[in-house]
Structures are given as C-alpha cells and as structure tokens.
Amino acid sequence: MGNVPDVVVQAINNMLAPYGESYSPEKSSGGGVSAGYKSWKGAAAYTSYSVSALRNFIKSGELEPPRKRGSGRNGRVAFSVEQLDRFMNRKGGKL
C-alpha cells in the first residue's frame, strides 16, 4: 500500500473522533487499540454511556469486564465490539 494522503488520514480521524479512536497509516502505531476493540473512552462513545456508567454495569454484572490485549507493561485493556454489541442488545439497544 502506498502513502495515505494527509487529507484522507484527517478525514478518517474526523470520523473516528466521536468514538475515541484514531487512525495512523503506519503499520505499528505504538499505542492504539486494535480494530474490533474499544478503549474505555471508545466504549463509552460507542454505547452512549459514560465511563463511570460502564464501570457500574461491570460491578453489577451487566457488562463483562474488558480484557487485557497484549502482554507486559505494553498491554492494553479493551472491550471487544462484539462484547459491547451483546451488552447493548440486552440493554435494549441504546445505540
């Protein structure tokens, strides 16, 4: 794949911003969450619930806790999109 024009990268990032995600054309962005997964902030934007509401849903057992992806100190905690979709289907689909 060739270089992605800056204007295209900016347009993609503008679309992803409400979900707490970003795109980098480099193969190893060194810190983002993989496709199909959401950070706490991304999960909150995706579900329209606040991060504190998501934490409360986890405490009450309504939402599975996020999983650590990666190993060691560089591992990231992330929710899978499938996990969030199941949760939203049970909640009546606030999406």
Rounded (5°) CA angle 75-81-84? 105
Per-residue pLDDT at 51 exceeds 80: yes
Bridge partners of residue 69, in order along the sequence: 76
Going from N- to C-terminal start, the domains of the chain cover 36-95
78-87 pLDDT per residue, tens: 898 899 999 9
Phi, psi of 37 (to 5 degrees): -135, 155
CATH class of the domain whose range is 36-95 = mainly alpha
Confidence class for position 88, pLDDT limits 50, 70, 90: very high
State pTM to two decimals: 0.59
pLDDT at 94: 55
Mean pLDDT over the full length of the chain? 79
Q: Which residues of 14-52 are buried (b: 16+ CB within 10 A; e: fewer)?
A: eeeeeebbebeeeeeeeebbeeebbbbebbbbbbebeee
- pLDDT band, residue 27 (cuts 50/70/90): very low
pLDDT at 21: 72
